Amino acid sequence: MTDLAWIDAALTSARPQALGALLRYFRDLDTAEEAYQNACLRALRTWPQNGPPRDATAWLILVARNSGIDDARRRGKQQALPPDEAISDIDDAESELAERLDGSHYRDDILRLLFICCHPDLQPTQQIALALRIVSGLGLKQIARAFLVSEAAMEQRITRAKAAVAKAGVPFETPGAVERSERLAAVAAMIYLIFNEGYSASGEAIGSRTPLCDEAIRLARLLLRLFAAEPEIMGLLSLMLLQHARVAARYDADGGIVLLDDQDRGRWNRQMIAEGMALIDKAMRHRRSGPYQVQAAIAALHSGAAHPGETDWTQIELLYRTLEVQQPSPVVTLNRAVAVSKVQGPQAALDLIAPLGRRLDGYFNYHGVRGALLLQLGRTREAHEAFDRAIALAGTTAEAAHIRMHIDRLMADCTAATTAPGLK
């Protein structure tokens, strides 16, 4: 491994904790970021020669803090910065600081840092952009590419988000138990948003957006390390691992999405599945169910089936019932209908989704599922109408082409017993 690769990984992994501590110290996001940036530059200069410090995070916090204080002084008195050598011998101070870092502070530091990124005044896209910039330290160029906007537009979006956060005020007091769990829930939702930005990519956007899934998983691991006994955080991490494990099988050569039933299961990432299964297993021991755990359990049932035919649809249907109670939404009911069609047949599923028509009329997947169910019942003309509607509503031409391909195949083998389109 080259020195630079090691340093890069160390700087990335230290960032949330270091920035969280600096934010508590300086109480200003820009100052904290600039100070951390300076510390990283010094690390790149001195670590290759002096070797890595024993505690990289403590080193970075200390150096960044000194640099921030120096900057403030310089602005005040025009005083010169101390040379690099003056701060290279900080061993004693480092261990003393590391001692203090092991305390309870840093848990809340990182949570606060993540929490200010999901301030309710911010739009979801602003939340994601801010978190990727501040917490993950991704470059503007990379974030802009993932959102298909120019760097200038992304910079403006982040600047606006920062201004909104500064105006709203950052909560610095140590949170109470209730507030902490509210913050945790908001942060979990934001992490899942990041994941879905990556997961929903198709076509040309796959290359630039799939890394967002890895980043979301990294953030969830970080969060779970801090809150080791939170079953919903275990559920969130499990859900993302189980979904992301399919990434190599989820796209065809043109970047179109391959449905679950059609995926080459040999290309699923077994290690990620093992970790996801272990986590949902752990979470369920707590007997405190929640939407992430239920969704992870559904994903786990899909992952555990060697062939689509082995899928335990009865159990999946029950889990969707639970999810409907915990998080009522017509889309959840639509997903349950797919499970119902596998267990009780197409008519029962069709009856279930009939009342959703008004609310989901603009959702292409609703018409896709409905069309497939009608086709299974031999109501070909109605099925065609539903499919045409789905194609008309598809967001992209790739999506429309994909639906059309799927329909062609359904039509081809509709004489045999067919299946409804599965979940992605």
Partner 1 sequence: MLYAILCYHDEDTVGSWSREHEDAVMAKLAVVQEKFDAQGRLGPVARLLPTTAATTLRKDGDPPLVIDGPFAETKEQLLGFYIIEATGLDDALEAARELGRANPGGSYEIRPVGLFRPGSVAT
- Name the residues that contact partner 1, by CB under 8 A: 1, 5-6, 9-10, 12-14, 55, 214, 218, 221-222, 224-225, 228-229, 234, 237, 271, 274-275, 278-279, 282, 285
Which residue, 228 or 412, is less far from partner 1 as judged by CB?
228
CB of 229 to partner 1, least distance (A): 4
Q: Give the position of tokens 């942060």.
A: 187
Which residue, 14 or 340, is less far from partner 1 as judged by CB?
14
Q: Cα(first)–Cα(last) distance of the chain, in Å?
A: 37
Non-local (6+) Cβ contacts of 346 within 8 A are 373, 374, 376, 377, 420
Which residue, 218 or 265, is less far from partner 1 as judged by CB?
218
Name which of 222, 278, 43, 117 is nearest 35 in CA terms: 43
From CA 323, how far away is CA 325, in angstroms rounded? 5
Name which of 316, 325, 271, 267 is nearest 295 in CA terms: 316
CB of 365 to partner 1, least distance (A): 31
Which residue, 285 or 381, is less far from partner 1 as judged by CB?
285
Name which of 216, 8, 43, 202 is nearest 127 in CA terms: 216
CB of 324 to partner 1, least distance (A): 28
Which residue, 46 or 365, is less far from partner 1 as judged by CB?
46
Q: Give the position of tokens 């050569």.
A: 253
Strand partners, 257: 251
CB of 189 to partner 1, least distance (A): 19
Name which of 218, 214, 229, 235 is nearest 296 in CA terms: 235
CB of 56 to partner 1, least distance (A): 8
From CA 121, how far away is CA 131, in angstroms rounded? 14
CB of 86 to partner 1, least distance (A): 26
CB of 282 to partner 1, least distance (A): 6
Which residue, 48 or 330, is less far from partner 1 as judged by CB?
48
Which residue, 153 or 248, is less far from partner 1 as judged by CB?
248
Helix (H, G, I), strand (E, B) or coil at 395: coil
DSSP assignment letter at 147: T
